[in-house]
Amino acid sequence: MLLQNKKVLITAGPTQEPIDPVRYISNHSTGKMGYALAAVCLEEGADVVLVSGPVSLTLSHPRLKIIRITTALEMLEESKKYFSQSDIAVFTAAVADYRPEFVADQKIKKNDDHFAIHMVKNPDIAKEFGMQKKSGQLSVGFALETNDEETNALKKLQSKNLDLVILNSMQDDKATFGYNTNKISIFSRTKARQDYPLKEKHLVAFDIVAQISALLPVPVL
């Protein structure tokens, strides 16, 4: 097994940033890639903590702990509880970059022709943990891009102190939110790029796990 006895932290799905009690800002992430990664990590012998935004997916396993959150701040706080003891952290979640500065405690009425929300930046979860990463820990990030894909992926690799970046492009058909398939490229710290064809997300997850396992230290016998 590729990840026997390893502890893996995975973030998955979207976050929802509330505007008022009935509205929120989010994105189209379904969590399918993150849940597929969790399933493959379990198959390969890992203990998995899955910090999941709101999704319709389920997963069950004796070595799996699922923590369900709503907002980016909640995802950060829950992940903090497990990151230091994890051998591998995989930041799959599509975390909202911004959140409303103020959340109305009552439903906002449609009174005016124009309505503005002042937004503040959410923490960059992958970057925060990349700065805390200890020797021997591996961190993996995702880059969903619409342009300058390779440049942006390599920038994330460096700025977030990641060991691998998984790139998928909005230009690729059936390879983004909502599909059961994905098409990825993997960038490593050596700048090597590995391209993969369109595959079912479970098979994509195995490709990612194989790349992660190749970076793990060889146990001394």
Query: What amino acid positions are annotated as catalytic residues?
Result: 27
Residues near 184 by beta carbon (within 8 Å), at least 6 away in sequence:
166, 167, 168, 175, 195, 196, 204, 207, 208
Q: 3-state DSSP call for residue 185?
A: strand
What is the pairing mode between strands 88-91 and 7-12?
Answer: parallel
What whole-number distance in Å separates Cα of residue 88 and Cα of residue 131?
A: 14
**Short-list 119, 75, 117, CA closest to 99:** 119
Residues near 211 by beta carbon (within 8 Å), at least 6 away in sequence:
164, 186, 188, 194
What whole-number distance in Å separates Cα of residue 61 and Cα of residue 103?
A: 37
What whole-number distance in Å separates Cα of residue 145 and Cα of residue 5?
A: 34
Cβ count within 10 A of residue 7: 18
Query: Which amino acid is residue 144, in one-letter code?
Result: L
